[in-house]
Structure 1
């Protein structure tokens, strides 16, 4: 069975970059009838917050990205400790004590010599007495995985054939000096024990994947199918890192972005398939194919969500926005007619009731000085409500005969006088909803 996972760290709110990873893994699992795991990467006790765990679940639920089960890495520390012991017994795990300053000096020296800036494995040459002295002087060290210095090959679901020389990569630190288990080890243990078959994540993880493949093999696990999607940039190709705080899913939700608009954009962005608004999750899943995605950085213009959200809202029925219409004061008996009239002019669900103030008599008429006498004469030819669908045509014909005006010079001043807006619903639909006769 295909099993995928999304493993966010609860150290902040998830943003559009996280969503891309979650969505791809979710679609793979759902398309195959497999399992999608929400795995909370909370091994950092200082930065992980329960409020962010709740927020992650809330954001995914808002988008309809349901999970089959939740796992928490903080509850699996004993499993990571056992894996670490196994690696020690195999001679693949060693302790090292270099300070960040010492490591930086080593990297600079290697670069000056034209060598790749990788850890030189000096800790492997320490005798037991030297190790004991280092522990006494510096306390516990970090624990590094000893890579086999050979090529690591895999066929990536997006990038194609990948080959990385392990000799050009530093032995990764898997456990910090304070005992915190890092993602590289925890993820390997979890993927192996949870039977994860497919892993999709950002292309910034490619080197990390190479090292994890060796760790998986050392622990006797099965290597999942890896795929690395492109990283997102701003619309001009600029890095998104400084803007991600404003691209949190909860901020987009607060701005009125619709779930299907966001999912439709993220499900195809960066692929050879056109970005088209999908009506359901099933439609998203049906056309999804990892092989259609490319490696080049993918430009994201968050403004693209505005028209897509408007299209979602405009396809809703009045019952879908009943709460918003009730809040705006739209009488229940008029809600269907009101929504049919205005929905083509609504951009967000929160704005569903905005036009009711106009129809209820709260519109401030907009009348140009040169049109004031014309509008006054026209209003004199309009009776009192209730009006019908024929009222607008009958009224404008009468005004045309009385004043000789026609075309835009006739219709625009009257629209502005009635609604206070230059654009909006068809006036034939507006007139039956007016609760009061417009006044200057």
Structure 2
């Protein structure tokens, strides 16, 4: 690839499940590399596994990409819609002699492999239908539909400078003539990927290191086609908190699960950016800053470890810095999904401003906001513990003072202090029963700030329920 080629990266998930954290990191790095170099980011859906690919999974991938804000410049392209193109290239390869028909049955293949294992050899296709100079091939057996195999080079090796792992070299003798089209004519994964990367002009293939074994085969096919070979960057896997491969039991089911759990997309992006890549000691940075800094030189070749507590901490930092209007909109949609009218309480911007410094996710913010919208009835044991006869007497005095007070924090704080003095009580002996009476919980931010936001009418109405 010449250094002057415009950068074109791609994200090519298989729609056999959700967009998970590993896939999202691959998409992020591919997107960021394209953005960093003023290039194009292509989205391709590799849906040739018809038995396992579903429209729901395609939509889940598109939803996940949209939620993360990883917009693509081209696509989504679907491999199932490109079948004619793959078959056209296969015919060209058959004509050029870089591919050939193979009539070996599944039973024969298994027998070949058993014999090879018995001899202590690596089980592989033995090339019996591979055309060679001076070799006479048998007549094709009747009734057998052939597969098409790639005529892999015999000698030498295939090598590439992996942008993450360094130089990788595989002897061609290690690779057999793999199938590029099945008996029914459908092309195989490794072949479709090659044609797609070629047709789409992909210059950097950034993907998980589970694809390293596919790379030498794909490079050989590209070279047989006379196509430019992209640069490859293979990202190490992500481990769970416990050091084992990230899986469903770590909660890594879907990127959209993080939305459900109240994470901000920018926090998830920031966290994913730090999974296996770093910029000095910087921990918190915008996606714009990430794009400006991102390169493939600082990706660690060792596995990255997912840390749920670190993600929670990062999310809390993003919530603290977030615009109140944005947070209010997020909280409003969460309340509506719970069947709570977000308009039933005070302005949500004012509520989230009170709680954003103590929330680690949007669901906690919504829990707090719900108390302002809905009159909760505390459990009998909570009432018995906090709304004692002494507390009720103090709340009656407070009710009268609140009815006449100017409705702002300083005046409300003074009303509480006057009530404490009148009844000979300490702040918690008044403030905690007051919290239970107006919000149903014993702990909130500063009570005068809570009262100011809740407003006089609601406070007096909620207090009155307990004053007989």
**Alignment equivalent of 2:32, drawn from 19, 27, 32:** 27
Q: Counterparts of 1:361 and 1:69 in 2: how far apart (Å)? A: 46
- TM-superposed CA distance for 1:4, in Å, is 0.8
The verdict on how the C-alpha distance between 1:101 and 1:278 changes in structure 2, with shifts beyond 3 A counting, is: farther
Unmatched runs of 5 consecutive residues or more in structure 1: none
Aligned to 2:146, the other structure's residue is in SS state: coil
Q: Which runs of 5+ in 2 are unaligned?
A: 1-5
| Structure-2 residue corresponding to 1:177 | 183
Partner of 2:226: 220
Residue correspondences, number: 437
**In 2 relative to 1, CA 240–177 (structure 1 residues): closer, same or farther, beyond 3 Å?**
farther
Match of 1:343 in 2: 356
Instruction: Go from structure 1 to structure 2 and tell me whether the alpha carbon gap of 1:375 and 1:32 turns closer, same or farther (over 3 Å shift).
Output: same
Superposition RMSD on alpha carbons, in Å?
A: 3.3
Structure 1 residue 270: Cα displacement: 1.7
C-alpha deviation, 1:258, in angstroms: 2.1
Distance 2:138 2:250 in 1: 46
Question: How far has the Cα of 1:186 moved from its partner?
Answer: 1.6
Q: For 2:255 and 2:204, how far apart are their aligned partners in 1?
A: 25
Change (3 A) 1:55 1:34: same
What is the Cα deviation at residue 221 of structure 1? 1.1
**Larger CA deviation: 198-207 vs 97-106:** 97-106
Write the distance in 2 (CA, Å) between the matches of 1:49 and 1:119: 32
Q: Among 78, 85, 88, which residue is 1:79 paired with?
A: 85
- TM superposition score normalised by structure 1: 0.86
Q: CA 1:73/1:361 → structure 2, altered by over 3 Å: closer, same or farther?
A: closer
Per-residue deviation at 1:333? 6.9
Is residue 374 of structure 2 the alignment partner of residue 358 of structure 1? Answer: no
Task: Give yes or no for the alignment of 1:278 onto 2:301.
Answer: no
Change (3 A) 1:59 1:356: closer
- Tell me the distance in 2 between the aligned counterparts of 1:170 and 1:423: 68
Change in 2 beyond 3 A, CA 1:31/1:370: closer
The aligned counterpart of 1:423 is 443
Q: How far apart, CA to CA, are the structure 1 residues paired with 2:175 and 2:83? A: 27
TM-score (norm 2): 0.81
Quickly say closer, same or farther: Cα 1:356–1:294, change in 2 above 3 A: closer
Report Cα offsets for 1:99-140 as digits up to 9, x if no partner: 55654554455445443333332333898763511xx24323
SS in 1 for 2:220: helix
Change (3 A) 1:129 1:2: closer
Superimposed CA distance per residue, residues 211-246 of structure 1 (whole angstroms, 9 cap, x where no aligned partner): 111111111111111000011222112233555995
Going from structure 1 to structure 2, the CA distance change for 1:198 and 1:113 (only over 3 Å counts) comes to same
Q: 1:153 to 1:360 in 2, by over 3 A?
A: closer
The answer to whether 1:15 aligns with 2:20 is yes
Q: How far is the alpha carbon of 1:288 from its aligned partner? A: 1.7
Instruction: Supply the distance in 2 between the matched residues of 1:168 and 1:252 (Cα, whole angstroms).
Output: 42
